[in-house]
């Protein structure tokens, strides 16, 4: 494989992603961040002769084959578009677009370019999710009817270290994050395992704000949004977006007409595969509880990678797409990426409207694009200082207390960054 030149935008998360590209024999040639201390630290950790930039337009003038977009979660689209216009391949983590209009712009620019675009969603590559994909592809579960995806990540409200690194000024996107928006870790794995694509969505929220004398500036008082999708194959997904209830876990389940497979909460990488006794494959057990194997020649690198090996495998997939000159498959391609972002955006609107169903557009059709090409509603502050257009919480008048915000500012104030 060619030794590709990679640039990194967002020196915090981007630094960790870049290390996997280095394991894959790539050169990290440039790094960009708007915050000087992160820029310096990221360049130092990656080592070598790395060019440093605090201006994105100057950064993409650097000679490179591809860019890792690891900037603010909801602001990837404008930078992806600039990369595509220059013929630079795009590796975009989390949602591809923060607004519906950005998704349309992203696709239109992509269709005029010759670049590889990949949604860098890593959770489908966790070992138990890979096993679910393998079993679904075998056909032994029968017709897939239902799947669940739970990305559940509760946090200690008094964890100052986490907040200093990830949530460090009042208008930070995490303080305005609707529970439906951070959706690819719950939705991506079930889309990958089943091959299904959401076509209609509805959602309800569970409201339970953080109380007490804690440092917080969060306007997101919901702990979970339960999202339900009707899919193109008639199946149904139940997903959580980014939940914060009970104990920390990533849990997935796929059910067909003949059997089901799921990973088991609190039991590491173990999966349970179950069939109806009268429909189980020959020589199969009715119930099997086991730890799947990687069965990959690069297992050594996978195991030293983040997110259960997903970071390495996702980077490898991207490079193989570039090498072959072929776009990634569902659900990592640009149309799937914008679909996932649309589930995030429209399920939040459903939640705000009492569970009203929303259709997910087919972004390959021009008439569907026109419906949303001017839709720029957002629950986030922009880096230009623009304010949110819609509330981020099911209780639309919810706000942290003055005392909580004052404590947050006193103990956690940080200058804005791109990470």
- Cβ atoms of residues 70 and 44 within 8 Å: no
CA gyration radius, the chain: 21
- Cβ atoms of residues 52 and 43 within 8 Å: yes
Burial class from Cβ neighbours inside 10 Å (0-12, 13-18, 19+) for residue 396 reads: exposed
281, two tokens: 């494959």
Alpha-carbon distance of 394 to 401, in angstroms, equals 17
- Cβ atoms of residues 372 and 361 within 8 Å: yes
51-53 and 27-32: which strand pairing? parallel
Q: What is the pLDDT of residue 416?
A: 42
Q: For the chain, give the number of residues.
A: 419
Please identify every stretch of the chain with a pLDDT value under 70, giving residue numbers as ranges: 413-419
This model's pTM is above 0.85: yes
Query: Which DSSP string do the residues of 302-361 spell out, in sequence order?
Result: HHTSSGGGHHHHHHHHHHHHHHHT-PPPTTSSHHHHHHHHHHHHHHHHHHHTTS--EEPP
Q: What is the pLDDT of residue 415?
A: 39
Residue 33: name the closest of 13, 19, 47 by CA.
13
CB within 8 A of 304, min separation 6: which ones?
23, 312
- Prior bond to 331 cis, omega within 30? yes
Give strand pairing partners of 51.
30
126-295+343-372: CATH topology is Dihydrodipicolinate Reductase; domain 2 (3.30.360)
Instruction: Please tell me what DSSP assigns to residue 179.
Output: T
Name the region of 244 (left: φ>0; alpha: ψ -120 to 50; beta: rest): beta
Q: What is the pLDDT of residue 47?
A: 84
203, two tokens: 């959602």
51-53 and 66-69: which strand pairing? unpaired
Q: What is the pLDDT of residue 413?
A: 61
Alpha-carbon distance of 81 to 110, in angstroms, equals 8
Alpha-carbon distance of 250 to 263, in angstroms, equals 9
Q: What is the pLDDT of residue 363?
A: 94
Name the region of 89 (left: φ>0; alpha: ψ -120 to 50; beta: rest): beta
Q: What is the pLDDT of residue 419?
A: 44
Local structure of 85: helix, strand or coil: helix
Alpha-carbon distance of 239 to 71, in angstroms, equals 25
Residue 329, CB half-sphere, CA atoms under 13 Å: how many?
10
Alpha-carbon distance of 246 to 243, in angstroms, equals 9
Local structure of 2: helix, strand or coil: coil
């Amino acid at each position: 494989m060619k030794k590709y030149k990679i640039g990194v935008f967002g020196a915090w998360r981007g630094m960790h992603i870049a290390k996997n590209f280095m394991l894959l024999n790539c050169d990290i040639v440039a790094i960009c961040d708007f915050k000087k201390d992160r820029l310096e630290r990221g360049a130092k950790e990656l080592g070598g002769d790395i060019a440093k930039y605090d201006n994105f337009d100057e950064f993409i003038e650097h000679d490179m084959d591809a860019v890792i977009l690891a900037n603010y979660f909801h602001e990837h689209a404008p930078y992806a578009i600039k990369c595509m216009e220059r013929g630079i391949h795009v590796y975009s983590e989390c949602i591809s677009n923060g607004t519906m209009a950005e998704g349309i712009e992203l696709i239109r620019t992509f269709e005029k370019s010759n670049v590889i675009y990949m949604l860098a969603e890593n959770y489908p590559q966790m070992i138990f999710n890979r096993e679910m994909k393998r079993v679904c592809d075998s056909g032994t579960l029968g017709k897939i009817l239902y799947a669940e995806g739970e990305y559940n990540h509760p946090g200690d409200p008094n964890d100052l270290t986490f907040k200093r690194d990830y949530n460090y000024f009042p208008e930070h996107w995490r303080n305005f994050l609707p529970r439906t928006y951070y959706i690819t870790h719950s939705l991506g794995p079930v889309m990958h395992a089943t091959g299904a694509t959401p076509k209609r969505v509805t959602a309800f929220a569970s409201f339970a704000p953080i109380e007490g004398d804690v440092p917080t500036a969060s306007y997101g008082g919901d702990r979970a949004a339960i999202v339900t999708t009707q899919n193109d194959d008639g199946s149904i997904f139940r997903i959580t977006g980014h939940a914060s209830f009970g104990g920390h876990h990533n849990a997935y389940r796929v059910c067909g007409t003949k059997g089901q497979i799921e990973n088991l909460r609190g039991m590491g990488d173990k999966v349970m595969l179950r069939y109806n006794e009268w429909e189980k494959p020959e020589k199969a057990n009715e119930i099997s509880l086991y730890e799947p194997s990687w069965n990959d020649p690069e297992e050594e690198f996978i195991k030293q990678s983040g997110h259960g090996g997903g970071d390495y495998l996702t980077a490898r997939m991207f490079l193989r797409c570039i090498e072959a000159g072929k776009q990634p498959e569902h659900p990592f391609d640009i149309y799937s990426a914008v679909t996932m972002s649309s589930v995030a955006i429209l399920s939040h609107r459903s939640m705000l409207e009492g569970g009203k169903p929303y259709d997910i557009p087919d972004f390959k059709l021009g008439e569907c694009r026109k419906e949303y090409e001017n839709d720029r509603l957002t629950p986030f502050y922009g880096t230009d200082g623009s304010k949110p257009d819609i509330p981020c919480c099911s209780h639309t008048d919810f706000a942290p207390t003055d005392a909580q915000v004052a404590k947050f500012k006193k103990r956690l104030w940080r200058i804005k960054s791109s990470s």
